[in-house]
Structure 1
Amino acid sequence: MTNPSHEDTVTDNPEAPPAPPSDYRIAVPEEWERVVLDPDRWPHRIDKLVNRSLRRTKATPQLKAALADRLRKQAEDAHANGGVEMYLIDQVIGQVPVSAGLVVTVLQPPPDTAAGDLSDIALSLRARGAADDVTMVELPAGPAVRHLYRRRPEPDDPDGNKLAVTHLDVYLAVPRSDQRLLLSFSTPTPPSLEPLADALVTLFDSIARTLQWMA
């Protein structure tokens, strides 16, 4: 989504159709850290996040560097797929570690291809994951596809991942546009913390409901 030019928003034709929204707004808990997915901005932001999250620990420089590298790789992958921003939380609340993230992605249809209906996304997701929970829901920002699933890493995962990850993806149609907005939530889910993951999914749903389109 890009801000419209002056020519896009001012017209002599009073019956011209309204323009698509130029932006969106979403509310997350204040503990969540925002990273704008701009390669010129995220290195400094990620370094600050790592130093802040580990300042009360005895983390070695090697551990800090490894965490920063992992976050940069996450930012690079999200940016390459159309991601515009991500939010992260990594805290210990009481004795319980809480880790979660949200990536906001603008999806463009392939060139010379119609965007299709949201129901087409739902059908495609159902075809790919028989055990996944795929539903059409109504949010304040409009109809959406809700895709809830849990993925366990392969034994030979190249990144060394050993934990299952619970995902909630929410697809919305950008009004009066061929674009789609994808909210991708995720949280690592060891077997002992599956009830916490279920509670976080409830939080993810609440965050998705705060989305507003901006003129």
Structure 2
Amino acid sequence: MNTIFNHEPIQYGEVVSLPFTGNGYLGLSLSSQSQIQLLTDIRSPFTSSGYSPVVRISSDTWEDSSATIVQMKEGVVRRIQCFKFSKERSAHVTHVLYAHRKRPSLIVQDIDIINPSEHTLDLALKPSNRILNNDLKQLDQHDVQFDQTKDSYIMTTNQIPVRQHSFIIYVILTNKIISTTNVKPGSLEKQTILTVVKFSSVLLENSLLNKT
């Protein structure tokens, strides 16, 4: 079975599956409690980063329902959100999340918003990038802009323990997004969230102290 389909909430008889994508270097699930998982060693379990770039979309005026499709062979997770204004009027948002297989440090989330209705679709876009790990230590965070005409990014450097007296340092670069959008009737909108993750090998506290 290559494809698993789940409603949200899960309906009777469905095979429950975590909407997870990974590439052997890192992984992430398309869920509100998700966080990037780092694979520091193929013989070790994932290390939770405490950070998620997943963008959640909601509306105060439109009722929404959703379903998730996991395409295991392709390593792609899709979520379709239907926003209903009335029984006859609706719009939908498609999320596509995947960890790039040829560029293993890259996570991509594509968002397509289509509004064929006669009403403006008012949406809130909320990133989930909160710290979910009390052991995580943030070393640095600043804004980055590679070109004045391009998107702005946030670069965050964190330190997280992996075993007793050892830790890894990782850097996450992800682009900023708008917090709200108003999609006009009969129009569409597309956003792409790119996240680059780089992390060190396991470092020993004693060896670091000796070098300093």
Q: TM-score, normalised by structure 1?
A: 0.28
Q: TM-score, normalised by structure 2?
A: 0.29
Whose RCO is larger (CA < 8 A, sep 6+)?
1
Structure with the bigger percentage of helix? 1
